[in-house]
Chain A
Amino acid sequence: MLMTLIQKEIRHHLLSVRFVALLLMCLLLIPLTLSINYRHFRQNLVDYQESVKLAQIEEKTVNPKMQLEPEIEVSKLFLKPTPLSVFANGLEDALPNHLGMTRNGIVYGAPALVSDSLSYLFGHLDFLFLVGTVFSLLALLFTFDAVAGEKEAGTLRITLANSLPRDLFLWSKLIGGYIVFVVPFLASFLFGLLVLVWQGFPLGEPEIFPRVLGLTLASLLYIAVFFAIGTVISTYLDNSKTALIIAFTVWVFAVLITPRVGFIAAKAIAPTQTSQSVYLEKTALRENFNAELEERKKEIHQAFWKDRRQPSFEEQFTVGEEVDEQVKPLEEEFRQKFKEHADKIDRNYQREKKYQEQVGETLSRITPTSSLTYLATNLMQTGKRKKSDYFQAGERYHDALHADLFSKIVDHASVRTFHLERDIVKITQPSSLETPTLGETFRQSAVDVLLLCFFAVALTMVAFMKFFRSDI
Chain B
Amino acid sequence: MLMTLIQKEMMHHILSVRFVALLLMCLLLVPLTLSINHRNYRQNLVDYQEAVKLANIEETTVNLKMPLEPDLEVSKLILKPTPLSVFANGLADALPSYLGITRNGITQGPPALVSASLSYLLGHLDFLFIVGTVFSLLALLFTFDAVAGEREAGTLRITLANSLPRDIFLWSKLIGGYLVFVIPFLISLLFGLLVLVWQGFPLGEPDIFPRVLMLTFASLLYIAVFFAIGTVISTYLDNSKTALIVAFTVWVFAVLITPRVGFLAAKIIAPTRTSQSVYMEKKPCETILMLNLKSKK
**A134 contacts which chain B residues (CB < 8 A)?**
252, 256-257
- What's the minimum C-beta distance from B101 to chain A, rounded to whole angstroms? 12
With a cutoff of 8 Å between Cβ atoms, the chain B residues found around residue A208 in the complex are none
Contacts of B103 in A (CB 8 A): none
How many Å from the CB of B11 to the closest CB on chain A? 17
Which residues of the partner chain B approach A387 to less than 8 Å between Cβ atoms?
Answer: 117-118
Q: With A25-B249, A46-B274, A94-B114 as given contacts, are A119 and B263 in contact (CB-CB < 8 Å)?
A: yes
By beta carbon, the residue of chain B nearest A115 is: B275
Asked whether any CB of chain A lies closer than 8 Å to the CB of B244, the reply is yes
Q: Which of B50, B114, B121, B241 counts the most A-chain CB atoms under 10 A from its CB?
A: B121
B259 at the interface (CB under 8 A from A): yes
Q: Is A302 an interface residue (CB 8 A)?
A: no
In contact, B54 and A40 (Cβ under 8 angstroms): no
Point out the residues of chain B lying under 8 angstroms from A370, CB to CB.
Answer: 122
List A contacts of B279 (CB < 8 A).
54
Interchain CB contact under 8 A, A383 and B121: yes
Of A109, A125, A353, the residue contacting B260 (CB under 8 A) is A125
A118 touches B263 (CB 8 A): yes
Cβ contacts B243-274/A at 8 Å (1 or 0 each): 01110110010001101111111011001001
Q: A24: CB under 8 A from chain B?
A: yes
B96 and A123 form a contact (CB under 8 A): no
Of the A-B pairs whose beta carbons lie under 8 Å apart in the complex, a sample of 18, sorted by A's number, is A43-B274, A69-B69, A91-B121, A94-B120, A111-B110, A119-B263, A120-B94, A124-B260, A256-B129, A260-B122, A264-B119, A264-B125, A267-B43, A276-B50, A276-B54, A283-B58, A369-B122, A383-B121
A73 close to B (CB within 8 Å): yes
Across the interface, do A25 and B252 meet the contact criterion of CB distance under 8 Å?
yes
Q: Mark B99-120, 1 if CB is under 8 A from A, else 0.
A: 0000000001111011111111
Say if the beta carbon of A368 comes within 8 Å of chain B.
Answer: no
What residues make up the interface of B, taking CB atoms closer than 8 Å to A?
A: 17-18, 21, 24-25, 29, 36-37, 39-40, 43, 46-47, 50-51, 53-54, 57-58, 69, 71-73, 90-91, 94-96, 108-111, 113-125, 129, 133-134, 137, 141, 145, 240-242, 244-246, 248-249, 252, 256-257, 259-265, 267-268, 271, 274-277, 279-280, 283
A31 at the interface (CB under 8 A from B): no
CB-based contact B121/A244 at 8 Å: no
Q: Is the CB of A110 within 8 A of B71?
A: no
Whether A18 is near chain B, meaning CB under 8 Å from some CB there, is: yes
Question: Are the CB atoms of A257 and B110 closer together than 8 Å?
Answer: no
Q: Report yes or no: B259 in contact with A122, Cβ–Cβ below 8 A.
A: yes
A37, A72, A265: the one within 8 Å of B71 (CB): A72
Cα(A252)–Cα(B9), bound, Å: 26
**Interchain residue pairs A-B with the least CB separation, the first 6:** A263-B119, A276-B50, A119-B263, A50-B276, A125-B260, A260-B125
Given A43-B267, A249-B24, A277-B50: A267 touches B114 (CB 8 Å cut-off): no
Q: Any chain B CB within 8 A of the CB of A10?
A: no
Instruction: List the B residue with the shortest CB-CB distance to A95.
Output: B117
Measured between alpha carbons, how far is A18 from B57 in the docked complex, in Å?
63
Residues of chain A within 8 A of B37, CB atoms compared = 264
Residues A122 and B263 in contact, CB atoms below 8 Å apart: yes
A261 adjacent to B125 (CB under 8 Å): yes
* A94-118 vs B, Cβ < 8 Å mask (1 yes, 0 no): 1110000000000011110111111
A280 pairs with B241, CB closer than 8 A: no
Stretch from A191-199, A356-364, A451-459, A461-469 that touches the partner: A356-364
Q: Please judge, given known A-B contacts A259-B123, A267-B43, A361-B118, whether A111 and B263 are in contact too, CB under 8 Å.
A: no
Which residues of the other chain, A, contact B46 by a CB distance below 8 angstroms? 274
- Docked-complex contact A90 and B121, CB < 8 angstroms: yes
How far, in whole Å, are A383 and B256 apart by their CA atoms in the complex? 22
Contact of A125 among B145, B242, B264 (CB under 8 A): B264
A263 adjacent to B263 (CB under 8 Å): no
- Answer whether A21 and B134 are a contact pair too, CB < 8 Å, given A122-B262, A268-B36: no
- A371 to B277 Cα, complex, angstroms: 39
* 0/1 string, A123-151, CB within 8 A of B gives 1: 11100010001100100010001000000
Return the contact of B267 from the options A40, A72, A259, A377 (Cβ within 8 A). Answer: A40
Q: Let me know if B276 and A252 touch, CB within 8 A.
A: no
Query: Complex Cα distance A368/B126, Å?
Result: 21
Q: For chain A, residues 61 to 94, give those with C-beta under 8 angstroms from any C-beta of chain B.
A: 69, 71-73, 90-91, 94
Tell me if A423 counts as interface (CB < 8 A to partner B): no
Choose from A21, A53, A69 the contact partner of B72 (Cβ within 8 Å).
A69
The one of B113, B137, B274 in contact with A94, judged by C-beta atoms closer than 8 angstroms, is B113
Write the nearest CB–CB distance from A36 to chain B, whole angstroms: 5
CB within 8 Å for A259 and B122 given contacts A91-B117, A279-B54:
yes
B246 and A267 contact, CB distance less than 8 A: no
Question: Within 8 Å of chain B (Cβ to Cβ): is A384?
Answer: yes
Is there a chain B Cβ closer than 8 Å to A27's Cβ?
no
In the bound complex, CA of A141 to CA of B119 (Å): 29
Nearest chain A CB to B70 CB, angstrom units: 10
Give the docked Cα–Cα distance between A276 and B45 (Å): 12
Contact A54 B110 (CB under 8 A): no
Contacts beyond the supplied A40-B267, A91-B121: 7 A-B pairs with Cβ under 8 Å: A50-B274, A53-B276, A111-B110, A114-B108, A120-B91, A122-B260, A260-B124
Q: Whole-angstrom distance between the alpha carbons of A176 and B134 in the complex?
A: 30
By a CB distance below 8 angstroms, the chain A residues around B117 are 91, 94-95, 387
Say yes or no: is A121 at the interface (Cβ < 8 Å to chain B).
Answer: yes
Asked, given contacts A120-B94, A248-B141, whether A36 binds B265 with beta carbons under 8 Å apart, the answer is yes
User: Given A50-B277, A110-B96, A260-B123 in contact, is the A21-B245 Cβ separation under 8 Å?
Assistant: yes
Q: Which residues of A contact B96 (CB under 8 A)?
A: 110, 114
Question: Is A21's CB under 8 angstroms from B36's CB?
Answer: no
Query: Once the chains bind, are A267 and B54 in contact (CB under 8 Å)?
Result: no
Q: How far is the CB of B247 from chain A (nearest CB, A)?
A: 10
A241 within 8 A of B: yes
Instruction: From known contacts A94-B120, A95-B114, infer whether A256 and B133 are also in contact, taking CB-CB under 8 Å.
Output: yes
With A125-B257, A240-B241, A256-B134 as contacts: A263 and B252 at CB distance below 8 Å: no
Q: Which residues of B contact A114 (CB under 8 A)?
A: 94-96, 108, 111
